[in-house]
Chains A and B, each alone.
Chain A
Amino acid sequence: MTTEPERYELRAPASYVFESNRREFFKFLGAGVFIACAASKAGAFQESGGGRRNSEELPREIDAWLHIGEEGGITAFTGKVEVGQNIRTSLTQAVAEELKVPVNSIRLVMGDTELVPFDMGTFGSRTTPVMNLQLRRVSAAARDVLIDLAAKQWGVDRAHLTASDGQVLDPQTKRSLPYAQIVQGRQITQMLPAEDPVIPASDWKVAGQPLPKVNGRDFVTGKHRYPSDQALPGMLYGKIARPTAFNATLVSSDTQAAEQLPGVIVVRDGNFVGVAAPSSALAEQALSLIHLQWKAERQPSSAELFEYLKKNQSHEDREEGPAAKKGDVQKALASAAHKVQQTYNISYIAHAPLEPRAALAEWNGDRLTVWTGTQRPFGVRGELATAFHLPEDKVRVLMPDTGSAYGGKHTGDAAIEAARLARAAKKPVKVVWTREEEFTWAYFRPAGVVEVTGAVDTEGKITAWEFHNYNSGSAGIATYYDIPNQLIEFHPVKSPLRQGSYRGLAATANHFAREVHMDELAHASGVDPLEFRVKNLKEERLRDVFVKGGEKFGWSKPRAKNHGYGVGGGYEKLGYVATFVEVAADRGTNEVKIERVLTAFDCGAIVNPDGLRNQLIGASIMGLGGALFEAVEFEDGRILNNHFASYRVPRFRDLPPMEALLLDRKDQPSVGAGEAPIVGLAPAIANAVFDAIGVRLRGMPLGPPLVSHGYHFG
């Protein structure tokens, strides 16, 4: 299966310029031991975006480094960022484990382009399989350096020495030497080859434990400063005058009244019109005084979306050939015992992170510094450099832990807007998007049409599988079922809306179509849907989550009257997932209610079971929105439901009891968990509804067809 970044991940240009800031970097660190490790092949993948190289830079294979200071403080540096997935904690555990130091002595510097090694971005569930491993390697290497230094100081063989609790120990003489003392007065910089960490998951003491969020107290006291909370002396508040429709061109503008307000700056640059003022209220007032005329072409609407997607394939974007092609699908279809052909429609949805896009920009001469919420600090640095015709080493992007993203904060829109206004104002400017802007001017999870034809023989084995996805993407498009004849293809479309990454990307659409279709094939063949899946699977770990999940859920227990069971699952971002749902239909109120959800998940050796559970349940709850009611409505270049009042997201009353079954595979590498658990939920609900009332739902969200049958979700 593919681990390459998917087309909608909006790749960063991987330029890597470090030299000019290096001196400052070591000044920042002070004395101590600095360790950098060459990455593994897996780590090198993170930087595979191409781009120019600076001849004096550190080797580009490095993706994490570590410093042990004279005070005993440990600072680890990574380009990964914290958006709520709790990696500040899980990566801290990795360092603590290998370096043998207390958790509270570790500080993580994340996503500051001046201080951390280049990183393509925090997406694709890559932090745990790649960065966690890399930080363990760096930490293990640092521990070895410290042991060497202690051995030299004591004049003993290093093989006798061990490390524990921030000290090197000599068990024979019972001597100990704290790390802080070892590094005292030294300035050691070492570049080491990466070696696999020596501590297997079965021996973990700190990793593998349910460590609470490392800076949790800062969040419950309101102390943590998110990007939108950042401030600088003399800072102005920026607002953007948005076009009346997508792809509109500015025809005329009248900004005079706004310019006359005291302290207000108005900027017009091409299609960009924005204001900056000493307070947000004044900025809003200025915005209301600006009169703009826009011209836009007619654009498709959500009412005609699925028809449009089928008719508007983009031949320019076409990838080379099908994702899978084997055997002879047509022949197999012709001789099948059972055959099903169906179409599944997936709507656009919005990320709606609770913290909208925000950025604070400050110019110092020709140097630009921006604090912003993004999953791609280096990518945003590149966008800023391009927008302002600057070399990248003149731009610094910092990413304070952010109020969520879900794949929605890859681009640097707010950063560019704030920087443009700040350049004109000659003062720092902060731009925080309104909720309406966030719902309109960000980008969306791609909508899609998926056409599937499957065939089964008399033994209940799938013989043919043809799968065409229009627009939503190729993530998770390959089938993990064992099928001899396959044709699987992704067809790019000229999207009517700006679209991009989202938690799980197209895997949600592809799993939905595949897993509902599996259910349809099972029913056509008269085989139990869970048994049907297991029967057609060879991959052992995937069978395990289906079988063990089914046992825990009680799949074989008889259903209560008007209740239905459904299952959906798969392999995604290196994790194995199966979600089970029970629904109840009330024939009196015509209400379908989700009674309970159980998700079985295997993501290798678990780094933090509590964080994992939080991610898994969180993904399931977020998935409820896309499954049941989220859909972006648009008409002629405008978003119609761009408020929380009209775009429904899951709330407290929407939640069924949810359970996680975590299969801890200490013999397997740890992989990410933020995305995979979202993929099984929607098909599991759809399949449970069919089981309960015989209505087949083939759209995400599931809602409308259900309503046409008189049923609705309560």
Chain B
Amino acid sequence: MGSMKLVINGQAYNIDASPDAILLSVLREQLDLTGSKYGCGEGQCGACTVLVDGKARRSCQTPISALSDKSITTIEGLAKGDRLHPVQQAFLDEGAMQCAYCTSGMIMSAVSLLSFKPNPSEKEIVDYMQGNICRCGTQPRIIAAIRRAAAIERSRS
């Protein structure tokens, strides 16, 4: 065991865990941040996706030793107070969920995509989101939500 500093959603935490502890477990078990989900533990489904320095990362595949001096954002840190992030708002507007267990990971992946591709084509969305599984079959709405979010962000900027 050791102590490590992690910056999560703008807040610094001292984590008492071994360096090879997995970020997803640390978030869920030590920090009570349960918005990031366990879906497979193998990086195959995307339910655990968080942002590390703004880029999507599978938290179930990420040891905390890889994260010193990095900024981590989870679904809980996306809204600014009561104001939802445009991607969150777009998922609501499009009703892009059923059981919604994949939703956190979908939203985090979409935020990452839009950060370097503000106006993605449908194919670019599909290719980028290929690693995220939705078993309920809301993919067409998720694609629509990402396009809508891109439009909201353009209108806000």
Closest residue on chain B to residue A616 by CB atoms: B137
**Is the CB of A655 closer than 8 A to any CB of chain B?**
yes
A354 touches B39 (CB 8 A): yes
Q: Which residues of A contact B29 (CB under 8 A)?
A: 237, 279-280
A650 touches B137 (CB 8 A): yes
Q: Which residues of B contact A401 (CB under 8 A)?
A: 99
B44 touches A655 (CB 8 A): no
A354 touches B133 (CB 8 A): yes
**Is the CB of A560 closer than 8 A to any CB of chain B?**
no
Taking CB atoms and an 8 Å cut-off, the chain A residues in 413-450 that contact chain B are: 432, 434-435
Taking CB atoms and an 8 Å cut-off, the chain A residues in 330-358 that contact chain B are: 352-356
Q: Mark A221-256, 1 if CB is under 8 A from B, else 0.
A: 111111011010000010000000000000000000
Complex partner residue of A280 from B18, B25, B97, CB under 8 angstroms = B25
> Contacts A643-B40, A651-B133; is A221 near B35 (CB within 8 Å)?
yes
> Contacts A354-B39, A652-B139; is A84 near B98 (CB within 8 Å)?
yes
Q: How far is the CB of A433 from chain B (nearest CB, A)?
A: 10
> Contacts A212-B95, A354-B39; is A403 near B32 (CB within 8 Å)?
no
Taking CB atoms and an 8 Å cut-off, the chain A residues in 645-686 that contact chain B are: 645, 649-653, 655, 658
Complex partner residue of B135 from A216, A228, A406, A614, CB under 8 angstroms = A406
**Is the CB of A217 closer than 8 A to any CB of chain B?**
yes
Q: How many residues of B contact A (CB 8 A)?
A: 57
Q: How far is the CB of A275 from chain B (nearest CB, A)?
A: 16
Taking CB atoms and an 8 Å cut-off, the chain B residues in 22-67 that contact chain A are: 22, 25, 28-29, 32-42, 44-45, 47
B99 touches A84 (CB 8 A): yes
Complex partner residue of A645 from B44, B101, B104, B125, CB under 8 angstroms = B44
**Is the CB of A618 closer than 8 A to any CB of chain B?**
yes
Complex Cα gap A644–B76 (Å): 27
B99 touches A354 (CB 8 A): yes
Complex partner residue of A220 from B47, B103, B139, CB under 8 angstroms = B103
Q: How far is the CB of B44 from chain A (nearest CB, A)?
A: 4
**Is the CB of B107 closer than 8 A to any CB of chain A?**
yes
Q: Which residues of A contact B143 (CB under 8 A)?
A: 652
**Is the CB of B75 closer than 8 A to any CB of chain A?**
yes
Complex Cα gap A150–B20 (Å): 66
Q: Mark A602-643, 1 if CB is under 8 A from B, else 0.
A: 000000001100110111111000000000000000000001
A354 touches B45 (CB 8 A): yes
Complex Cα gap A353–B102 (Å): 10
Q: Is chain A's binding surface mostly helix, strand, loop or mixed?
A: loop
Complex Cα gap A626–B63 (Å): 35
**Is the CB of A86 closer than 8 A to any CB of chain B?**
yes
**Is the CB of B88 closer than 8 A to any CB of chain A?**
yes
A219 touches B97 (CB 8 A): yes
B140 touches A655 (CB 8 A): yes
Complex Cα gap A620–B47 (Å): 22
Q: How far is the CB of B14 from chain A (nearest CB, A)?
A: 17
Q: Which residues of A contact B130 (CB under 8 A)?
A: 651-653
Q: Mark B60-86, 1 if CB is under 8 A from A, else 0.
A: 000000000000001110110000100
**Is the CB of A213 closer than 8 A to any CB of chain B?**
yes
B38 touches A228 (CB 8 A): yes
**Is the CB of A281 closer than 8 A to any CB of chain B?**
yes
Q: How far is the CB of B56 from chain A (nearest CB, A)?
A: 14
Q: Which residues of A contact B88 (CB under 8 A)?
A: 220-221
Complex Cα gap A381–B95 (Å): 33
Which interface residue of A86, A219, A229, A279 has the most chain B CB atoms within 10 A?
Answer: A219
B137 touches A620 (CB 8 A): yes
Complex partner residue of B101 from A86, A226, A617, CB under 8 angstroms = A226
**Is the CB of A522 closer than 8 A to any CB of chain B?**
no
Complex Cα gap A406–B34 (Å): 23
Q: Which residues of A contact B45 (CB under 8 A)?
A: 354, 435, 644
**Is the CB of B151 closer than 8 A to any CB of chain A?**
no
Q: Which residues of A contact B131 (CB under 8 A)?
A: 651
Complex Cα gap A651–B134 (Å): 7
A653 touches B39 (CB 8 A): no
A644 touches B42 (CB 8 A): yes
A622 touches B42 (CB 8 A): no
**Is the CB of B138 closer than 8 A to any CB of chain A?**
yes
Q: Which residues of B contact A643 (CB under 8 A)?
A: 40, 42, 44
> Contacts A354-B134, A649-B133; is A222 near B76 (CB within 8 Å)?
yes
**Is the CB of A128 closer than 8 A to any CB of chain B?**
no
Complex partner residue of B136 from A229, A231, A618, CB under 8 angstroms = A618
**Is the CB of B141 closer than 8 A to any CB of chain A?**
yes
What 3 pairs between A and B have smallest CB-CB spacing?
A222-B35, A84-B99, A621-B137
Knowing that A85-B98, A611-B95 are A-B contacts, what are 18 other residue pairs whose CB atoms are under 8 Å apart, sorted by A's residue number? A86-B98, A220-B91, A221-B78, A222-B33, A222-B75, A228-B37, A229-B28, A229-B34, A279-B25, A279-B29, A281-B22, A621-B137, A645-B44, A650-B139, A652-B132, A653-B126, A653-B130, A655-B139
User: 25 A-B contacts, Cβ less than 8 Å apart?
Assistant: A83-B99, A84-B136, A221-B35, A222-B35, A225-B34, A226-B37, A228-B37, A228-B38, A231-B32, A280-B25, A281-B25, A354-B39, A354-B134, A355-B99, A355-B101, A356-B38, A402-B99, A403-B100, A403-B101, A404-B135, A615-B98, A617-B137, A652-B126, A652-B139, A655-B140
On B, residues with C-beta under 8 Å from A are 18, 21-22, 25, 28-29, 32-42, 44-45, 47, 74-76, 78-79, 84, 88-89, 91-92, 95, 97-104, 107, 125-127, 129-141, 143
